[in-house]
Structure 1
Amino acid sequence: MDKIIIRPMTPEDWSTVSRIYVEGIATEYATFQTECPPYTAWDASHTKECRLVILSGGVLAGWCALHRVDPRWCYRGVAEVSIYVGEQFRGHGLGFQLLSALCAAAEKAGYWTLQSTVLQDNAASRALHAKCGFRLVGRRERIARDCHGRWLDTYLMERRAAADEPEGFKKL
């Protein structure tokens, strides 16, 4: 078994992170995005904390990050999850390790709710989130069209922190 390392993402990781993101976009069931933004735009839209990468055998195999769902103060502890595992590394449990680490880091940073929007055809992502303690809180029917014009549903999955005021709550 290859040695697994989870560490904070750095700007130097972007070339591999963006390649993995493009692989996710190509599946047409990981995101509604049709192209990868430049690093500056991606960086501006995601929180500075809770950006992680997973390495398998020294190779960057996946990444995850958070972005705030709403800028208002009352929602400061609520963030949406982005998680992607490289095509050649899928199905080996790396997503579970990465999402578990993200959940722990988010609680340490003070987030009380993590949410994830999962496209209807992404059963693997729904199962991964459920395995990491996310629960299905809703289904949005015919909420968006894919690049082929097909209407799609999304599932909203949510994970609450173990404590009402997680460890880093006061920092937010």
Structure 2
Amino acid sequence: MILRPPRPRDAAEITAIQSEGLATGHASFREMPLDWDSFHDGYPLAVVAEDQGIVVGWSALSATSTRDVYAGVGEVSTYVSARGQGRGLGRALLHRLVTESEAQGWWTLIAQIFPENVASLALHRACGFAPLGVRRGLGRMSYGPMSGTWRDVAFLERRSAVAGQ
């Protein structure tokens, strides 16, 4: 397993992995996966996991706001393909993302997760994210198996012990 920065040639695999997650109805309010330009432009920091030449997961960080007061605060996204699940890949990806984010000065990371996504909640807790609470009926799903359902969203946060001090 190789963890590395994403490359343009990874675009189709990154999109396919996100599509798998979105199809479950428990990954995001987003209906369509990101194309390469949106992925590249939206995530100033990202890591992919490559297994035998194939990207099987990714983790990325986006700024929560463009306002200077929120510099160093980011939101994480992590997706692992069905092929890569159950091997500790999500933990390796998120751990690497946290480590690299701290080296770049990101001091607070947040995650917004549907409470039904128990595996993602456990992953984030294992990587030092603490639950802040649940926002009830935050948004209404517009696609997939949960279409029309108002969804709760659990908020988790990880504060760096080294960056932003």
Stretches of structure 2 lacking an aligned partner (at least 5 in a row): none
1:137 aligns with one of 112, 132, 144:
132
Corresponding residue for residue 99 of structure 2: 104
Counterpart Cα distance in 1 of 2:55 and 2:35: 19
Counterpart Cα distance in 2 of 1:101 and 1:5: 11
Corresponding residue for residue 158 of structure 1: 157
Cα deviation, 1:51-89, whole Å, max 9, x if unaligned, reads 110122332110111110011111110000011001121
Q: Where has structure 1 moved over 4 Å in runs of 4 or more?
A: none
Counterpart Cα distance in 1 of 2:53 and 2:163: 37
Corresponding residue for residue 10 of structure 1: 7
Counterpart Cα distance in 1 of 2:105 and 2:83: 33
Counterpart Cα distance in 2 of 1:164 and 1:97: 20
Q: Which residue identity is paired with 1:156?
A: F
Q: Which residue identity is paired with 2:11?
A: W
Counterpart Cα distance in 1 of 2:31 and 2:132: 26
Corresponding residue for residue 44 of structure 1: 41
Corresponding residue for residue 65 of structure 1: 60
Counterpart Cα distance in 2 of 1:104 and 1:135: 17
- Answer yes or no: is 1:90 the counterpart of 2:90: no
SS of residue in 2 equivalent to 1:30: coil
Answer whether contact 2:64 2:75 (CA < 8 A) is retained. Answer: yes
Answer whether contact 2:72 2:164 (CA < 8 A) is retained. Answer: no
Deviates more, 1:155-164 or 1:133-142: 155-164
Q: Which residue identity is paired with 2:107?
A: W
Counterpart Cα distance in 2 of 1:116 and 1:60: 23
SS of residue in 2 equivalent to 1:149: coil
Counterpart Cα distance in 1 of 2:59 and 2:9: 15
Counterpart Cα distance in 2 of 1:130 and 1:161: 14
State percent identity of aligned pairs. 36
Aligned pair count reads 161
Corresponding residue for residue 169 of structure 1: none
Normalised TM-score (structure 1):
0.89
Q: Which residue identity is paired with 1:55?
A: E
Stretches of structure 1 lacking an aligned partner (at least 5 in a row): 167-172
CA shift, 1:40, in A, is 2.0
Normalised TM-score (structure 2):
0.92
Q: Which residue identity is paired with 2:118?
A: A
Corresponding residue for residue 170 of structure 1: none
Deviates more, 1:51-60 or 1:13-22: 51-60
Corresponding residue for residue 19 of structure 2: 22
